[in-house]
Amino acid sequence: MNDQEMFRRMRESLYTGVICDTLDDLGYRNQAMRETIRPLNQEWVVVGRAKTILAVDVYHVSGNPYEKEIAAVDSILPDEVVIACTNRSTQNGLWGELLSTASKVRGATGAIIDGLIRDSKMIVELDFPVYCTGTKPVDSRGRGLVIDYDCPVDCGGVIVHPNDVVFADRDGVVIIPKDIALEVVTGALDKATRENHTREELLAGKYLRDVYEKYGVL
């Protein structure tokens, strides 16, 4: 299963809960980001490979404050999801409309920002999925600085490596380590099918205990 087929099946059939359950079964119990990272639009679903960006707070305007930020966005590949660590900054409005526009044109499928963003109205109108901890109408210039990209980052309490698989919906953001991505997706698809059968039988009036014993999902 190549990435395009895998992402299509994930988008059509999966949701964060069933992915988390599958990761739990494999011993990966800390792959869901903090609940404070929320989508601007709850209807958005994000799937793709992680494009990691690392930023830190600063307290002065450097000579070229956007250099690595621009380089990171310009290097985005199709079907990547921006994963931005701000070290939980409350002063840096790292992300906005123009970065969203540039990322969408490069083929990104969304951005997960562990920090604040601005231009939320324009981002929603652009229909580029962005998750964040909140909004603040300030520029990053003199407040935050991108210091690296395509490196491991801590985003929402999860260590994310470049090319890990990202899945996000209204319930949150889950990171699937790249080395087990196919195994997790295959297992999650199977569990989602069993959950669908369970739901149908419960709606038909079957008892929860009997249905659980049959399909083994809850």
- What is d(CA 6, CA 36) in angstroms, rounded to the nearest whole number? 28
- What is d(CA 79, CA 104) in angstroms, rounded to the nearest whole number? 10
Predicted TM-score (pTM) of this structure: 0.93
- Residue-level pLDDT at 194: 83
- What is d(CA 141, CA 52) in angstroms, rounded to the nearest whole number? 20
What confidence tens digit (pLDDT) does each residue in 126-148 have? 999 999 999 999 999 999 999 99
- What is d(CA 178, CA 190) in angstroms, rounded to the nearest whole number? 19
Contact criterion met (CB below 8 Å) for 191 and 37 = no
Q: Tell me the average pLDDT across 36-52.
A: 98
The four Cα atoms 33, 39, 45, 51 give a dihedral, to 10 degrees, of: -60
Contact criterion met (CB below 8 Å) for 55 and 154 = no
- Residue-level pLDDT at 30: 98
The four Cα atoms 5, 199, 16, 25 give a dihedral, to 10 degrees, of: -90
Neighbours of 204 (CB within 10 A): 8
Beta bridge partners of 165: 49, 176
Residue 181 in tokens: 């991505």
Q: Tell me the average pLDDT across 41-65.
A: 96
| pLDDT beyond 80 at 217 | no
What confidence tens digit (pLDDT) does each residue in 98-129 have? 999 999 999 999 999 999 999 999 999 999 99
Contact criterion met (CB below 8 Å) for 81 and 49 = yes
- What is d(CA 209, CA 193) in angstroms, rounded to the nearest whole number? 18
Residue 53 in tokens: 């960006």
DSSP state of 42: T
